[in-house]
């Protein structure tokens, strides 16, 4: 009987060691929501209550070795004198086995327009990590987005 108990205990310890070295499962849902309106002037903010000036954009990207599917959604104010970033959210669309999945605050918007009207662009960094039995993978992906609806992953 003593031998059976020690074998069972050894198996339980081995299973605990193996499973503690594996990534956890992250469930779908919002990862980050950031308000970029602090970068807008009071003059520009007056227009955000008028739906005809609001534009909404969305793009799905894949991140990391498991190709985590993330939807980035952002909104902008589209005015005659320029296009201004307003809000951004990032959501995980399907479960993924990572230990960490995070989205940074967006960078301060910069004007990428060569002329008037102004056209703002910003970026976020998506970080991930995944534990393996004896190692850990880490990585980042940068997503650039602009107030005219253009979005792209940059490695």
- pLDDT, tens digit, for every residue of 89-118? 999 999 999 999 999 999 999 998 777 788
Find tokens 């849902």 and name the residue.
29
In angstroms, the Cα distances linking 74 to 32, 68, 91 are: 12, 19, 12
Structure tokens at 76: 């902008």
| Best mean pLDDT range from 10-14, 62-66, 112-116 | 62-66
Q: What is the DSSP letter of 98?
A: -
The span from the CA of 146 to the CA of 121, in Å, is: 4
- pTM for the structure as a whole: 0.82
In angstroms, the Cα distances linking 60 to 89, 91, 92 are: 12, 9, 10
Helical (H) or strand (E) element with 58: strand 54-63
CB 147 within 8 A of CB 54: no
């Amino acid at each position: 009987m003593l031998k059976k108990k020690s074998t069972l205990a050894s198996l339980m310890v081995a299973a605990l060691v193996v499973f503690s070295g594996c990534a956890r499962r992250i469930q779908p849902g919002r990862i980050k929501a950031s308000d970029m309106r602090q970068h807008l002037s009071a003059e520009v903010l007056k227009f955000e209550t008028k739906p005809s000036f609001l534009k909404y954009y969305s793009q799905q990207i894949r991140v990391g070795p498991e190709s985590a599917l993330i939807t980035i959604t952002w909104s902008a104010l589209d005015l005659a004198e320029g296009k201004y970033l307003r809000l951004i959210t990032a959501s995980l669309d399907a479960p993924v086995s990572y230990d960490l999945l995070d989205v940074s605050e967006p960078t301060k918007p910069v004007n990428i327009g060569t002329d008037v009207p102004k056209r703002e662009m910003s970026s976020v960094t998506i970080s991930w990590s995944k534990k393996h039995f004896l190692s850990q993978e880490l990585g980042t992906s940068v997503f650039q987005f602009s107030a005219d609806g253009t979005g792209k992953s940059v490695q």
